[in-house]
Chain A
């Protein structure tokens, strides 16, 4: 073996050595991507091909599954509904979490530690526990099957998360900046909007990403709180199970289309992802 590798290492720059690290990462990424690859291939096959032959890639490539989804209103409104409540939730969560995170990062006050943990406990609440009470609450105030109901319900776990991440980022901003601004005669609201918010812009971006992520992937609550008008795409997908069995091709295509928005969002925050997952605490 060593005889074989000798010439390559002598040349050095010509062939980069394949290291153990690259192999480990390669295997791990293969493990991650294989199921997604399979989903993608399924979405490009006809149902006859899926059920009758076993092929690693589509023999007769078809985009019919995607066309079905993109031309049928009952399908694509599912995507719109999901988008609407996710954006609503992001806006609400950020607006209430920004001042709170500032308070937690800058001041001590009566009960602050307990309050912070209590907020976190809501992140720990199993959605299954809340499904039925939410249904009753939103039905009784006439918000059942609206986008705002889902957006508010997702605040249950997203607001604590937003406060937690933002607090981590805000701790990193030196306090002297606040003090200088006050000496310069800034009022608190003006200081907060003009000076402080731009300083934690990357933190806000990361937080928005996580709010998007957790609201986008959640199904139990969004399904419980909607029936027709605000039905999310994830719930629409159960439609593919019909009397004649499951329409695998369309199901796979719908799955692929739910991955696309996430992939786009990741691309924009790729440099902050790691720090964000550490909740700003690195």
Chain B
């Protein structure tokens, strides 16, 4: 659509700007403030420059948490994106069954995150959980509170359970917008199922798929509540992701300076990666003629 130039449109944006300035800029500046100051208590602060940043960059603790975070986000993206597309391809196109699938699939998305944790805790415990009990019964040694691999497997399966539907729903919305004529043309050309997917469906859902990847990357990178409820970051530190570590540092130990420096670097990583996705996304939008 052709947009007209209109500088007065700023007035329409003004309420959003004021609100976001209040709820985002002020708190963010507080963080920036802490990150460059040190304190001996009594609310007396003095300038510390980039000390905290240097300290955090040298801290093994942060690099370890970052490593775990990247591993976690990569694994869940590698599972959820293909699985979500696969599920979307198998969804009924319309009618009662389509509605039913949509409603049931959205269900996990609307469960409060700590309840998601609770559900999986109840489901996976060896003594009372269906999953844990069954695994123990068939002789698999599974205990997510003590075993490293079991803890990771539980956290990953939980995330796949929680969010694959989001990817599937996005891909489904993309698939719905493909006109029938495309499929008929493919049939006339006797294209194989794979070729139909590769040359018709995939290009058409690329745009929404980018949104899916962007959303899943952002949210998995910020994940806090679900693993915190299930594993509490353990065993040891093995499922302590960035947010869990940060909350421990800021609210638990009250190490404001390092936590603030940590926060800013954390936020920057998300921003940079998201900016890349966003640019790709808007370019795809342009190509599709928006």
Q: Which residues of A contact B (CB under 8 A)?
A: 20-21, 24-25, 28-29, 31-36, 38-39, 42, 50-51, 54, 56, 92, 95-97, 99-100, 102-110, 112, 115, 117, 119-134, 136-137, 152-153, 155-156, 159-160, 163, 171, 175, 213, 216-220, 224, 233-234, 237, 248, 251-252, 255, 258-259, 262-263, 265-267, 270-271, 273-275, 277-279, 281-282
Docked pose: A156 CA to B267 CA in angstroms: 14
Q: A103-B9, A219-B114 are in contact. Are A128 and B222 (CB under 8 A)?
A: yes
Docked pose: A46 CA to B64 CA in angstroms: 43
Interface residues of B in 184-222 (CB under 8 A from A): 207-208, 211, 218, 221-222
Contact of B3 among A33, A106, A121, A137 (CB under 8 A): A106
A152 engages B23 (CB within 8 Å)? yes
Contact of B102 among A103, A262, A273 (CB under 8 A): A273
Please classify how large the interface on chain B is, using the bins under 10, 10 to 19, 20 to 34, 35 or more: 35 or more
Q: For B110, list chain A residues within 8 Å (CB).
A: 213, 216-217, 259, 262-263, 265-266
Q: Give B62 Cβ to nearest chain A Cβ, in Å.
A: 14
Q: For B172, list chain A residues within 8 Å (CB).
A: 274
Q: For A110, list chain B residues within 8 Å (CB).
A: 7, 10
Docked pose: A25 CA to B101 CA in angstroms: 8
Our count of residue pairs bridging A and B at CB distance below 8 angstroms stands at: 278
Interface residues of B in 104-125 (CB under 8 A from A): 104-115, 118-120, 122-123
Docked pose: A55 CA to B127 CA in angstroms: 12
Q: A108-B5, A237-B118, A266-B103 are in contact. Are A99 and B12 (CB under 8 A)?
A: yes
Q: For A171, list chain B residues within 8 Å (CB).
A: 1, 290
Q: For A31, list chain B residues within 8 Å (CB).
A: 161
The listed residue with most B CB atoms (<10 A of its CB), out of A124, A218, A255, is A124
Docked pose: A59 CA to B169 CA in angstroms: 38
Q: Give B277 Cβ to nearest chain A Cβ, in Å.
A: 10
Instruction: Given contacts A100-B12, A171-B1, list 16 more A-B pairs with CB under 8 A.
Output: A20-B90, A24-B90, A102-B12, A124-B222, A124-B267, A126-B266, A131-B247, A137-B26, A137-B27, A152-B22, A153-B23, A219-B113, A234-B113, A262-B110, A266-B106, A270-B103
Q: For B170, list chain A residues within 8 Å (CB).
A: 274, 277-278
Q: For A120, list chain B residues within 8 Å (CB).
A: 274, 278
B122 engages A252 (CB within 8 Å)? yes
Q: Give B22 Cβ to nearest chain A Cβ, in Å.
A: 7
Is B271 an interface residue, CB under 8 A from the partner? yes
Is B20 an interface residue, CB under 8 A from the partner? yes
Q: Give A51 Cβ to nearest chain B Cβ, in Å.
A: 7
Q: Give A100 Cβ to nearest chain B Cβ, in Å.
A: 4
Q: A21-B90, A96-B15, A97-B16 are in contact. Are A248 and B128 (CB under 8 A)?
A: yes
